[in-house]
Structure 1
Amino acid sequence: MQLRDALDDYKRHEGHDTRFPGERRSTTGLFSGFGGRLVHVERDGSLRDFGYPLTGRNGVDRSRLGLRVDDEMYWFDADDTVSQTYHDSTALVVTERETPFGALTQYDLTIDDAHVTHVELGEGSEADVELVAYMGFAPNAQDTRIGQLRHEDAVELYHTTEHDFVGSATDFSDLHGQVPIRFAEVLDNTTVDLPRPVSEDRYEEDRLSGDLVVFLLFESGRTSLVTLLTDKGTTTRETALGRLDELAAEYGDVAALQQTAEAETLDLPDDAPHADAVAADIRVLRLLSAETGLRIAGPDFDPYYAHSGGYGYTWFRDDAEISLFVNEVSDHAGLGLDAWTNRSARAYLATQQSDGTWPHRVWPRDGTLAPGWANGRLEAGDGVDYQADQTGSVVTFLASVLDDLDGDLCDDVVTALDAALDGLDDTLAADGRPVACQNAWENMNGRFSHTAATFLGAYAAVADADLPAETTTHAKEQADRIYEAVDDLWADDRGIYALRECETGELDLRYDSASLALVAAHRLYVRIGNIDDKRLDRLVSHVEETVDNLWYDPDESDVRGLVRYEGDSWRQRGQGHEKVWTVSTAWGAHAAASMTGLLRQKGDERAESFAMITDDLLSLVLPDGPLCMETGYLPEQVFDDGTPDSATPLGWPHALRLATVALTDELGIDVSAQAPTLAD
């Protein structure tokens, strides 16, 4: 998304109740792409690349598809789409619509660095029809200083190293360039509809712009448009043009697209619990992954940081939890995802800092440091602007999967864990709790319950791992210290562990969904230590009170679930109340399931009440639940009226849902399709 597009969107949506102006949204439409390139297919058929963080190639920034009949233009965004779905459990997007000229079906599949859009007309459609595609490319993330080269049956668009190609299975009947939005138009109050008329008598417009309009003939009622993103240093022009021809020839029919898509699909066991949810979760996590194994948090809807700090990066907190959950589910359900675990482990080894910790966030394509605001351990100063829970999460994953790793990789992880323990020790205060740092939500400093939970889980996982006795003994001692120190955060009058200890020494008594991580941490701790009755009672109270007080059930729609924390004002727009978060709701379900497991280990009858809470919360994020979109995606947040907001799909809640489904199956918790709400 270029600045001109962001400003145009700002003019269109300034003052909107649920849309933040200047963003590129993915709350509708579907994504395709398992090879790094990530292409969004909107319901109106338009395409946009979101894969820059995954590949370093920017690709398509804006587009519009339609038909030309007798020199008259009909754009697909003129009417609502009839339907848009994935083909079975694949990443092949199928979009069906009715046009004034007959039915039409659009098939979209991203294949490595290429994307194929195949369009077929229904029987009885107009014979003299052309497909028209307006596409704006931004090679090297530039919207100016772009050139075009016209080849016999393809167009090449380039800035410096990134060269993007457009071709067709049926050749172009016509094509021309477009000039971008002019300065005066950017400053004007009115918006600009693209594409423009064919020519405005500017001799350079066909060659010095990333915008292109192409017209494609239909043959036997079908045609295909192919785009290919390349780097000059790795792909020659001749190779790229040859591959473009091969793609156009190979994917000129639906069967070929379906066959390729099905070959990339994970085969789930017949008895997999909630197979539809598991398939959707695995697909989302694959869509968000780079070849390194690192993932973006979600499609970056706000590249100019207009209303957030961006989402197209790898955070080690949620990425390591995703890796751990995938490994657990793979082992439980027999998904055969060992390669994911190995790849994640290698990526974390490559990104570990010299002090044994992990930084705020990195680019997933190569693990290099990404822009951030929590790099205190890389800067001079007191290090408060450091998110210690991220290192704790990686340590938990590496220690937990150690037995699943082979040979040199296992040895390298052992070495990394030694260094990581030094990093954890350095950020553990004398009183047994982590030092003041930033929280999981990245908007406060203090000494947080959530950070303490990640440290408890990390040390417990190391103590339980097949490591030298000196290492496990030290980790056990540190875990015991944290176990005792956690009670410093207990707020007896509220029956919860406080959100944090503030700089003043006072406890912040707000309810916080991140603090629910304490339960999973104690499930790790119980493997190497004893949880006494007092602690168990406090955990029971903490989960009950946190879930009850973060529960929100607005009257405007079917939306209901947990808000992020008490008093959360972020991205409210005009709502005036905390928004429901899918992460928090799924986290609540996972914590309740974990609590069920802990209590059953103790033979405690209270376990069954938490099984019911698990049922209530998990049902909200399952495919038929009110927080799960028709696409199968979980957005980060939802407005009261049901409008999804922020990064969509977000990897973290999908991983939490995946893990909770597996845990409920392991514990024998029956999750109903239409569970009663907690309010009942």
Structure 2
Amino acid sequence: MRLRDALDDHKRNRDHPTRFPGERRTTAGLFCGAGGRLLHVAPDGTLRDFGYPLSGRSGLADSSFAVRLDDPPSDLDWEADAVRQSDDGGAVIDLGAGDQSYHDPTSLVETVHETPIGRFRRLDAVVETGAGEAHVTRVAFDDADGPLDADASLLVGSTFAPEGRDARVGQLRHERAIEVFHDRERDFLAGAGGLDVIGGGLPAGPDAVLAAEPHERDADALGDRREEDHLGGHVVASVGFANGAAAVATLLTDREETERETALDALDDLLAEADSAAAVTELAADSEADVSLPPETPRSEAAVDDLRVLSLLSAPTGMRIAGPDFDPHYVHSGGYGYTWFRDDAEISGFLLAADATFDLGLDEWHRRSARAYLDTQLPDGTWPHRVWPRNGALAPGWANARIEALDDVEYQADQTASVVAFLARLLARLPAGDPLADDVAAAVDDGLDGMVASLAEDGRPVACQNAWEDASGRFAHTAARFLDAFSAVAALGPDRFDRAVEATDRAALLFDALDDLWVPDRGVFAVRERADGSLDDRLDSATFALADAHRAYAAIGEIDEVRRDRLVSHLTATLDGLYHDPDESDVAGLVRYEGDGWRQRGQGHEKIWTVSTAWGANAAGELASLLSAEDDARSEQFDRRARELLDVLSPDGPLSIAGGFLPEQFFDDGSPDSATPLGWPHAIRLATTALLDDRGALGDSDEDPVPADD
């Protein structure tokens, strides 16, 4: 999103109760994508490219569509909001908000628009071509009265921002397509049967940008300023309907990688192939990742949604963005279009576990993730704050003290532990002769060195940043991730990994040291030890990590009755204390932590987070599994809690929106907010389903929701 657009959105939403002005929200609409191309299709049909972190190409800042009738019918309702009269007496019909759905299990988006002249069915898909990933939009008249009249055309208003630029952009108008460029990035727009260019233009000038009211983009030709319609990224064109359908396509390329003729030929071939709805559907299916979903997979609708989202958010390297970058100017967040090794490795681990249960055929996903982690490991064995997923290069961040060689807490040690835990578990699955196995073992070895360097004498990690990146101290979450990683390495055994015994000893020392964080008065483990040695006893969903960490430790050590009782107490108090069920809507779930004031927008109460809710479900399931192994009857109550929270996140639950997407947060009035969809809770949802199903504890929860304790 360019600054002009951000300022315009600020004018439109500065007083909105739940919208943060200046953002490009994705809380409504669906995404289509493949191979690093990621396009948002809004309900009204507006398109935006969000794939820059995945591909390095900015593409469409926006693109909108309308239908033009040269000879309007006599009974056309000119008073309808969707109808406008053009200067030459024709009619322009805005498609308006439509009903959207996915063509399962692909990412092809279908939108049905009801208009004053009938129903239009639109398909949006990203398709792999010989010149890269192209996007095709097919709009077809879908009405029982017959095909659309031949004098109709599809109007396309597109603004390209090659390399993120809204100025110093040029256009070339070929016979077959329009090319928009700045330097290396070349963006193409083509239409089936050719495009009729109506106009273009420069971005809004200073007067419009600084005016108090929002500005509307001018879609008319520029008259005497003929040179300026070749010097901006905006273009308005039309493409004719043939047999009631019209199609356009876009392609983003790099001039040093793809020649112009190759790009034009690829668009010609694509539009020739996309001559029917069935053809577009087939092209989209051929471009999807090869993921098999066994028919007996429980809650398969959610599983399809989860795998689709994680595929959409993935770069060809296998690394994932946290979510679509809705706040590119970092006004209300620190950005989401990067790979954090915390949630990316956690996602990888959850996928590994789900694949082991459901046989999802994700072997190449796991191997691709491992290779990406090998390529991004630092010389000291750790991993940096965040990287660009398309190439693993260091991305802008604020927690890179290890790279800066500073003796500083501005480092997130849990990220390294999460990667080591995944690599160790993958290593356990790799055959001994697998070429990848030796490289993974070496990375685990170096990763252990990086973790050991972050340990204090008592066995717990030293002070660093927390999982939420908003505080420092010696956190229970960090300790839990270290316990999990040490346990995963220890479980390899000395025959498979030389340092397995060392990892066992470190896990045992850390297990005992967790008692230092116990707060008897609240019956919980403290979220952190502060710099002055005092304990912070607030409830925090990040401490749910203690559950799976203890279950991992149970495979190599003994968990006594006292520790089990403390885990039961901690998890019960945290689930009850963080549960929030506001009166003003149907949403319900867990807040992130006590006193969380981020992105409240005046609400006055912590917001519900899907990752916290999913984490709570998973922690309840992990603790239930741990207790069940000890024949502890309390396992049943945690199975129930896990099912209840999982139901809240189900495709028909209150925290799931169109497309099965899980937004990061919700306001009390039910409005979704922040990164949408967020990859992390999707992976947790899938893995928790597998965890409960593996033990026969999934069932269908028809009990009342968890009672709120607030």
What is the TM-score with the length of structure 2 in the denominator? 0.94
Deviation string for 1:291-337 (max 9, x for gaps)?
Answer: 00000000000110010000000000010011111111112111111
Deviation for aligned residue 1:102:
1.3
Which deviates the most, 628-637 or 195-204?
Answer: 195-204
Deviation for aligned residue 1:73:
5.3
Task: Letter of the 1:639 partner, please give it.
Answer: F
Is 1:403–1:466's contact at 8 Å kept on the other side of the alignment? no
Counterparts of 2:379 and 2:540, CA distance in 1: 33
Deviation string for 1:335-376 (max 9, x for gaps)?
Answer: 111000100000000000000000000000000000001001
Task: Letter of the 1:109 partner, please give it.
Answer: A
Q: Which residue matches 1:4?
A: 4
Of 134, 142, 157, the match for 1:114: 134
Of 171, 176, 179, the match for 2:194: 171
Counterparts of 1:432 and 1:403, CA distance in 2: 25
Of 487, 511, 519, the match for 2:547: 519
Q: Which residue matches 1:360?
A: 385
Q: Quick check: 1:462 aligned with 2:489?
A: yes
Q: Which residue matches 2:155?
A: 132
Task: Letter of the 2:445 partner, please give it.
Answer: D
Of 599, 605, 609, the match for 1:571: 599
Q: Which residue matches 2:477?
A: 450
3-state SS of paired residue (2:264): helix
Which deviates the most, 523-532 or 190-199?
Answer: 190-199
Deviation for aligned residue 1:48:
0.5
Is 1:66–1:73's contact at 8 Å kept on the other side of the alignment? no
Deviation string for 1:440-471 (max 9, x for gaps)?
Answer: 00000001010000000000001111555640
1:600-679 matches, within 5 Å, as: 600-672=628-700, 674-679=702-707
Relative to 1, partners in 2 of residues 1:589 and 1:174: Cα closer, same or farther, differing over 3 Å?
A: same
Task: Letter of the 2:190 partner, please give it.
Answer: G
3-state SS of paired residue (1:549): helix
Deviation string for 1:525-566 (max 9, x for gaps)?
Answer: 111110011000000001000000001000011110100000
What is the TM-score with the length of structure 1 in the denominator? 0.98
3-state SS of paired residue (2:155): strand
Gaps of 5+ in 2: 71-85
Q: Which residue matches 2:22?
A: 22
Deviation for aligned residue 1:381:
2.4
Is 1:101–1:126's contact at 8 Å kept on the other side of the alignment? no
3-state SS of paired residue (1:109): strand
Relative to 1, partners in 2 of residues 1:200 and 1:436: Cα closer, same or farther, differing over 3 Å?
A: farther
Counterparts of 1:314 and 1:625, CA distance in 2: 28
Counterparts of 1:670 and 1:296, CA distance in 2: 30
Which deviates the most, 630-639 or 404-413?
Answer: 404-413
Of 85, 91, 94, the match for 2:107: 91
Q: Which residue matches 1:76?
A: 94
Counterparts of 2:463 and 2:383, CA distance in 1: 17
Counterparts of 2:221 and 2:612, CA distance in 1: 50
Is 1:65–1:75's contact at 8 Å kept on the other side of the alignment? no
Q: Which residue matches 2:76?
A: none
Q: Which residue matches 1:60?
A: 60
Is 1:195–1:213's contact at 8 Å kept on the other side of the alignment? no
Q: Quick check: 1:385 aligned with 2:403?
A: no
1:141-540 matches, within 5 Å, as: 141-263=164-286, 264=288, 266-405=291-430, 407-466=434-493, 470-540=498-568
Deviation for aligned residue 1:483:
0.1
Task: Letter of the 1:74 partner, please give it.
Answer: V
Is 1:595–1:607's contact at 8 Å kept on the other side of the alignment? yes
Which deviates the most, 593-602 or 373-382?
Answer: 373-382
Relative to 1, partners in 2 of residues 1:674 and 1:557: Cα closer, same or farther, differing over 3 Å?
A: farther
Counterparts of 1:153 and 1:296, CA distance in 2: 35
Deviation for aligned residue 1:252:
1.9
Of 87, 96, 100, the match for 2:116: 100
Deviation string for 1:600-656 (max 9, x for gaps)?
Answer: 000001010111111111100011110011321000000111110000000000000
Deviation for aligned residue 1:669:
1.4
Deviation for aligned residue 1:197:
2.6
Counterparts of 2:498 and 2:57, CA distance in 1: 47
Is 1:619–1:674's contact at 8 Å kept on the other side of the alignment? no
Task: Letter of the 1:293 partner, please give it.
Answer: G
Counterparts of 1:429 and 1:337, CA distance in 2: 38
Counterparts of 1:353 and 1:86, CA distance in 2: 40
Counterparts of 2:93 and 2:203, CA distance in 1: 19
Which deviates the most, 256-265 or 336-345?
Answer: 256-265
Counterparts of 1:373 and 1:674, CA distance in 2: 45
Is 1:61–1:137's contact at 8 Å kept on the other side of the alignment? yes
Task: Letter of the 1:54 partner, please give it.
Answer: L
Deviation for aligned residue 1:171:
1.2
Counterparts of 1:503 and 1:53, CA distance in 2: 36
Deviation string for 1:390-409 (max 9, x for gaps)?
Answer: 00000000001103335221
Deviation for aligned residue 1:175:
3.2
Deviation string for 1:95-134 (max 9, x for gaps)?
Answer: 0011112110110001132000001012336512211111
Is 2:37–2:51's contact at 8 Å kept on the other side of the alignment? yes
Is 1:102–1:126's contact at 8 Å kept on the other side of the alignment? no
Deviation for aligned residue 1:208:
0.3
Is 1:342–1:405's contact at 8 Å kept on the other side of the alignment? no
3-state SS of paired residue (1:583): helix
Relative to 1, partners in 2 of residues 1:120 and 1:400: Cα closer, same or farther, differing over 3 Å?
A: same
Counterparts of 1:469 and 1:574, CA distance in 2: 53
Deviation string for 1:227-286 (max 9, x for gaps)?
Answer: 000011110011111111111111121111111233436331121010000010000000
Percent identity reads 54
Counterparts of 1:58 and 1:522, CA distance in 2: 44
Counterparts of 2:659 and 2:447, CA distance in 1: 39
Relative to 1, partners in 2 of residues 1:224 and 1:521: Cα closer, same or farther, differing over 3 Å?
A: same
Counterparts of 1:120 and 1:233, CA distance in 2: 36
Counterparts of 1:631 and 1:261, CA distance in 2: 17
Q: Which residue matches 1:48?
A: 48
Counterparts of 1:475 and 1:466, CA distance in 2: 10
Deviation string for 1:555-598 (max 9, x for gaps)?
Answer: 01111010000000000002110000000000000000001100
Counterparts of 1:302 and 1:603, CA distance in 2: 49
Deviation string for 1:16-70 (max 9, x for gaps)?
Answer: 1000000001101100012110011110011100000000011001122111123
